[in-house]
Structure 1
Amino acid sequence: MNLTISGHHLEVTPAIRDYVHTKLERIKRHFDQVIDISVILTVDNLTEKEKRQKAEINLHMSGKTVFVESVAADLYAAIDSLIDKLDRQVMKYKNKLQDHNREAIKRIPESEQPAAA
């Protein structure tokens, strides 16, 4: 898994890098087929002070790319809400994979069912 953390108008300190990495452990714990993660942290010069800190993430999984963004007054709060949103989307995708890849036993033709010995 490749992890890229970049900042626009912001220097990514080791503390921020560690915080993002620790939060992403939750995503990797739920779904381990992640190929690439790209995190972009931005400080915008907006007049609305509560929406200055923005965090975006592009997560490439096998079969899907997920994009999530979050805006908050504090960068750490933006990262927290970003990870919550991302976790919901990853769990939704994981459940979709698990539900649709299985064929119900009652729908399998009897010629394919294993014989009880």
Structure 2
Amino acid sequence: MKFVIHGKNIEVTEAIREYVHQKLEKAVNHFQNITSEVDVHLSVARNPRVSSKQTAEVTIYANGTVIRAQEGSENLYASIDMVADKIARKLRKYKEKRLDQKTSSHVKTSEVVAEEPVELDLIGDRTPELPEEVVRTKYFAMPPMGIAEALERLQLVDHDFYMFRNSETGDINVIYQRNHGGYGVLQPRNANSNSNNSNGKVAQEVGEVNKLTRK
């Protein structure tokens, strides 16, 4: 299992490195068969108005699935303790879900989805430019999935939204946590005649997902 530790506005000393290894190795000890890489990012906020100044963020790559957790406090070691506990709970939930799926469907849950070909010429003769506000760009695989699976991925990455390719429509959708509870899905408005039917089906699926999460 590969460990990668980064630091921002902080020197990652040997003592900190050993503490991270100790805590996270214990947290992922029972999940080493599904864990290929553990990426740890430690940071200290320079803004005095930020209450959680010292943050520990852990990203785990497990069978092609990204599992992420983040915790912050006034003490870096306390943040590491909390994020280790949180990532262990998420790994346990993920493994239990995979076992349930394997038992119910009798198929392997680690099937590799074939990547679709990427159009090389996306911008034509235009010059690619990013606005000054954009400071980081990420690229990631986007296999088709349903809304229920997208919700599972959202809960694993510890974000308030998750972008995915809808397996029913082929469109790029975003599932997100609503401020007043529950989840919503953002999808493009298509000009074709089937858009109303697909929109209605998505709304129905979102309603079913929200019912399940409230139980």
* Larger RCO (CA within 8 A; separation ≥ 6): 1
C-alpha separation between the residues in 2 aligned to 1:44 and 1:103? 46
CA shift for structure 1 position 96: 0.6
C-alpha separation between the residues in 1 aligned to 2:49 and 2:78? 16
- What is aligned with 1:10? 10
CA shift for structure 1 position 40: 0.6
Question: Residue type of the partner of 1:21?
Answer: H
Query: Is 1:101 the equivalent of 2:97?
Result: no
Q: How does 1:37-116 map to 2 (within 5 A)?
A: 37-48=38-49, 50-103=51-104
Query: Is 1:31 the equivalent of 2:6?
Result: no
| Unaligned segments of structure 1, at least 5 residues | 105-117
| Unaligned segments of structure 2, at least 5 residues | 106-215
TM-score between both structures, scaled by the size of structure 2: 0.46
- Asked if structure 2 preserves the Cα contact closer than 8 Å seen for 1:24 and 1:83, the reply is yes
- Asked if structure 2 preserves the Cα contact closer than 8 Å seen for 1:69 and 1:82, the reply is yes
Moved over 4 A (4+): none
Q: How many residues align?
A: 104
Instruction: Return the structure number with greater helix share.
Output: 1
C-alpha separation between the residues in 2 aligned to 1:46 and 1:84? 27
- Asked if structure 1 preserves the Cα contact closer than 8 Å seen for 2:28 and 2:88, the reply is no
C-alpha separation between the residues in 2 aligned to 1:93 and 1:63? 12
RMSD: 1.5
CA shift for structure 1 position 67: 1.4
Instruction: Return the structure number with greater strand share.
Output: 1
TM-score between both structures, scaled by the size of structure 1: 0.82
